[in-house]
């Protein structure tokens, strides 16, 4: 297989050529594959798909539990497929293949961090102002501007952590540069979505927000946390 070739495509062509050779081999001579890489490719693809699906579902469930609002959780969860779409597009442009090395290290928790902060702040402002209908837009805009700069620099700091990996050479570079590039692409896509798409979706999906209230999980956690915090503060 030449450098840069698609392993699956090459394997399929090899199998076709083997079928042609069997017709012209001498009597009693057979070709038996010693190692078929297609099994490894298929297993890797299935593993990546399972990790992506399970990870996205797990993050969605956790968002639902802690945000306590289905529409807010759905808006945040949309960041995952859209940021991955952005990352896959950039990977295709750069010629980076999708495999365990490039996709396996994606952390969905980091991807949705900015979106969670954005949606929570917008929800809090809408609940505090009891805003609805056509008055939602200015409140969403003000809430987005309030946390836009912190979100931008926090995600930018995470991206800079991976930048030195992009300068690796030789074997280290072949192993880790695809991973670092994919994570940077996904974080960049999540940042763009958080600053643009998420506020727009909130202006449509959160038009009628009731008074702010904690989810059941947070109320349960607070009942455990507040007494322990009070006990600690009383005994410095």
What is the predicted pLDDT for the residue at 139? 85
- Check if the beta carbon of residue 81 is closer than 8 Å to that of residue 106: no
Cβ count within 10 A of residue 76: 28
First to last CA, the chain: 67
What is the predicted pLDDT for the residue at 21? 87
What residue ranges define each of the domains in the chain, with the CATH number in brackets?
48-233 (1.20.1640.10)
What is the predicted pLDDT for the residue at 130? 66
- Check if the beta carbon of residue 81 is closer than 8 Å to that of residue 131: no
Q: What is the DSSP secondary-structure string of 16-45?
A: HHHHHHHTTSPTT-----S--THHHHHHHH
What is the predicted pLDDT for the residue at 188? 93
What is the predicted pLDDT for the residue at 132? 57
94-103 pLDDT, tens digit each: 887 777 777 7
The parts of the chain modelled with pLDDT lower than 70 are 67, 130-134, 208-215
**Among residues 111, 91, 107, which one has the least CA distance to residue 178?**
91
Say what the alpha-carbon torsion angle 29, 34, 35, 38 is, to the nearest 10 degrees: 20
158-173 pLDDT, tens digit each: 999 988 988 988 888 8
d(CA 125, CA 142): 9
What is the predicted pLDDT for the residue at 151? 92
Contacts of 44 (CB under 8 A, 6+ apart): 99, 100
């Amino acid at each position: 297989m030449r450098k840069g070739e698609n392993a699956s495509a090459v394997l399929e062509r090899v199998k076709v050529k083997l079928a042609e050779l069997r017709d012209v081999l001498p009597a009693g001579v057979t070709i038996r594959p010693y190692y078929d890489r297609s099994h490894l490719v298929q297993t890797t693809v299935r593993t990546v798909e399972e990790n992506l699906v399970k990870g996205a579902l797990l993050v969605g469930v956790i968002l639902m539990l802690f945000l306590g609002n289905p529409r807010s959780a759905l808006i945040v969860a949309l960041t995952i497929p859209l940021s991955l779409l952005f990352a896959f597009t950039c990977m295709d442009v750069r010629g980076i293949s999708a495999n365990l090395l490039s996709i396996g290290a994606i952390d969905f928790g980091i991807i949705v961090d900015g979106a969670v902060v954005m949606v929570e702040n917008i929800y809090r402002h809408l609940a505090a102002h009891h805003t609805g209908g056509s008055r939602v837009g200015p409140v969403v805009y003000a809430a987005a501007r309030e946390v836009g700069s912190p979100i931008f620099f926090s995600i930018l700091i995470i991206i800079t952590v991976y930048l030195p990996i992009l300068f690796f050479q030789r074997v280290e570079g072949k192993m880790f540069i695809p991973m670092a590039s994919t994570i940077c692409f996904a974080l960049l896509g999540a940042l763009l979505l958080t600053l643009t798409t998420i506020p727009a979706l909130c202006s449509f999906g959160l038009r009628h927000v009731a008074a702010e209230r904690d989810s059941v999980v947070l109320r349960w956690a607070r009942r455990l946390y507040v007494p322990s915090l009070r006990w600690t503060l009383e005994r410095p």
